[in-house]
A and B are shown apart, each in its own frame.
Chain A
């Protein structure tokens, strides 16, 4: 890799002050499993001048119960979350999702903060030496629209940028289904509002803003959650489609449902029509089929990804049935 300056931040303020000094020329590094790959391939127009290591900041690495919610430090590795008794107890979909991400080695290195902040995997965007200076990098063209879009969005792109690259996270849909919130150095937002489609980034974070906590509220009594992932290989692969759901049953009927598909749209996708279809009904196969149909009712597949529509529908069905 090319040379850069390296800083070990001792505190969050330390890290933020270095980021402020460098403007858009510095980047924080946690697990590094996304960033180092991007730097090795030089996919972006600008290479970072400095990396700020936040792994030594003690307050960012724990999982604990606080004020009736789970408080997850962004430096917690995916493996720690997968094995956490606290997370498994009330938010099993999050533990399952973390356990299915990437590979065993990457789960021991990659952090949950990095996972929700990770960049898109579109192969035009990721081609080395910025071979395709696309819309998402501030260029003028999206190469996937008329190119090989077999893994791209089936629900259209974002209006402003016309980017069709999906969000690749496994943990994100589980956090959305369980109504998570993200706290940063500047604000606290619902996890759904955390994601956005913007030049070279997938989140609302400013250049000098860091995630400091991920919060999960205690689910209502009678809530079950589940996660499913479809990929070609059972390990290492990013999802082609994944899905998480949290369903609260009351007297045998659905009192509340939160469903989230990911890897099908530019951000984690909550099929509202699906949630409405299952509300107030028992989780029978017939009702779940109707809800699954509703989840892809707005699908607008591209030239090569129509197959993903059926997979998304099936993942919604399986995950809902797993909540019964």
Chain B
């Protein structure tokens, strides 16, 4: 479920969109234009521009998952060693648990929800190839694979395995992922 939240940096009131937020701030706090408070960031998530007030110690994972409700990114190791928190930031697949939200000002983030909303062939190929058992690692894999295909639309099996090397699956679905990603690449080529 994706919800847009425009939070007032002064009183944390929730508004529907940027204009409503701006009107609220001018009306309630007597300030115009919208000031950039400490910890205020502009972040685009799956194409939606969001203004957020974050604490320095918040990781990008915490902002996306706990505050904004993008539950696709999962927390497992929380130490950058499993890949389940993977999101794409400015085109690169990175670990949101090891990224500070406050350092993501002005960045473009894509999560698994965005990949699904765009109806990427990876989704159907993942289902067809039984890449999920418990499903916990899957969003991390899909996002990493999507970033790979964006950069290299025609990878070899070895390149796929190499690119997914940072994603762990306790259920052991590894062989299926390579097949699914190669099949998705074929479909993208058409």
Contacts and interface: CB of A to CB of B under 8 A. Distances in A.
A32 B99 contact: yes
A104 B55 CA distance: 28
Interface in B64-79: 78-79
Given A51-B56, A106-B95, 17 more contacts: A1-B59, A3-B55, A3-B57, A4-B56, A32-B100, A36-B98, A40-B78, A55-B103, A104-B165, A104-B166, A105-B86, A105-B166, A108-B94, A109-B92, A109-B99, A235-B166, A236-B166
Interface of B: 39, 55-57, 59, 78-81, 83, 86, 92-95, 98-100, 102-103, 144, 162-166, 168
* Secondary structure dominating the interface of A: mixed
A120 to B, nearest CB: 16
A103 B165 contact: yes
A105 B83 contact: yes
Interface in A243-302: none
A105 B95 contact: yes
B57 A2 contact: yes
B98 A29 contact: no
A299 B102 CA distance: 47
A6 B56 contact: yes
Contacts of B144: 104-105
B35 to A, nearest CB: 17
A8 B162 CA distance: 34
Interface residues of A, number: 27
Interface of A: 1-6, 8, 29, 32-33, 36-37, 40-41, 51, 53, 55, 102-106, 108-109, 234-236
A51 B83 CA distance: 25
A105 B94 contact: yes
B118 to A, nearest CB: 21
Contacts of B78: 40
A300 B86 CA distance: 42
Contact of A37 (B86, B98, B99): B98
Contact of A106 (B56, B80, B164, B168): B80
B93 A36 contact: no
B111 to A, nearest CB: 15
Given A104-B144, A105-B94, A6 B166 contact: no
A222 B8 CA distance: 64
B55 A33 contact: no
A41 B56 CA distance: 17
A235 B168 CA distance: 10
B72 to A, nearest CB: 16
B166 A32 contact: no
Contacts of A109: 92, 94-95, 98-99
A55 B81 CA distance: 22
Contacts of A234: 165
Given A51-B56, A235-B166, A236-B165, A105 B93 contact: yes
A236 B57 CA distance: 25
